Amino acid sequence: MDTGALQGKVGVITGGTSGFGLEVVLDLQHRGADLAVFSIDEPSRDTLERISSCQRGSVSFFTIDLMEGSAGKEIVRKTVERYGTIDFVFANAGFAIRFDKPITEYSSEEVIQALKTQYQIFPIAFLSLALEAAQVMKEKYSYIEFDSTGHRVDSGSIIVTLSEASVSNLRADLLAYAAAKKSTHWIMESLAVSLAPYNIRVNGIAPGFANNEGQKKFYSSYPAIREDVESLCHLKPAFMHPRAVTPAVNYLLSDHYVTGQTIILDGGYSLHTFSYFTE
């Protein structure tokens, strides 16, 4: 996508002060979008300096806890109050609860509480935000015309970060996290059908393992898991820079025909094969 291609577009981004979300914020601002960025954390001074140095789209930061039941409504209200409309949403915020002992060493109450927390931050928070944003977006996109090829010339877009846990083999330490992500995947597909009449597309990206600080800390503490990840990723490096997701996000924003799809960005980690006659 050309620089400035999102000029005049307004986007909502959650979890935009670090990792994948921050890289997407910086990229989309450079492409001209005006962004309302929501996170539980304040942006760092370095982030604010990088944002202010860009001569294109504007970025407004807001702090919010997605675990609050009214978060989706509040995000949409603040975005419309600031920019007047919403053209796209990138739902990226979240965290993983890991079980670092055999599951039988936890009480059922502990496991169930972890599951409830992960469902609140992923499928429930995502669904709430998507539905609230769709109420604004459908007013703009329901009547978009076709071009000479028979395709819509524009569309609304909702993108959710799903992670490799939603598409790859099970990991016992991610029981609650993966269950919530897989549920979010199903909701994403369902919304794609429900919102299609309003020309709002809903898609997902499923990044693999990033070389951000959080994952570096975790996998450094568990070298056996890190070794497995590196051996199962067919493309290297196994732990990618968070900026690697931005081309996929830009594709999903620019194409007006794809919906209900997930782009897997995991270096082939989810592809398992048996090779008996290799060197």
- Answer whether residue 277 is part of any domain: no
pLDDT for the residue numbered 3: 62
Structure tokens at 218: 């975790």
pLDDT for the residue numbered 10: 98
Query: CA–CA separation, 64 vs 37, rounded Å?
Result: 10
The model's pLDDT over 126-177, given as tens digits with 9 standing for 90+, comes to: 999 999 999 999 999 999 988 888 888 899 999 999 988 777 777 888 999 9
pLDDT for the residue numbered 189: 97
Query: CA–CA separation, 207 vs 192, rounded Å?
Result: 20
- Answer whether residue 224 is part of any domain: no
How many C-beta neighbours within 10 Å does residue 70 have? 11
Neighbour-count burial of 229, counting CB atoms closer than 10 A to its CB (0-12 exposed, 13-18 middle, 19+ buried): buried
Instruction: Tell me if the bond preceding 237 is cis, omega within 30° of 0.
Output: yes
Domains of the chain: total: 1
- Answer whether residue 1 is part of any domain: no
- Answer whether residue 153 is part of any domain: yes
Q: Are 93 and 66 in contact (CB under 8 A)?
A: yes
Domain limits for position 65: 10-208+246-265
pLDDT for the residue numbered 2: 55
CATH code for the domain in which residue 149 is found: 3.40.50.720
Beta bridge partners of 11: 35, 88
Residues of the chain with pLDDT under 70: 1-3, 278-279
- Answer whether residue 5 is part of any domain: no
Query: CA–CA separation, 37 vs 18, rounded Å?
Result: 11
- Answer whether residue 90 is part of any domain: yes
- Answer whether residue 113 is part of any domain: yes
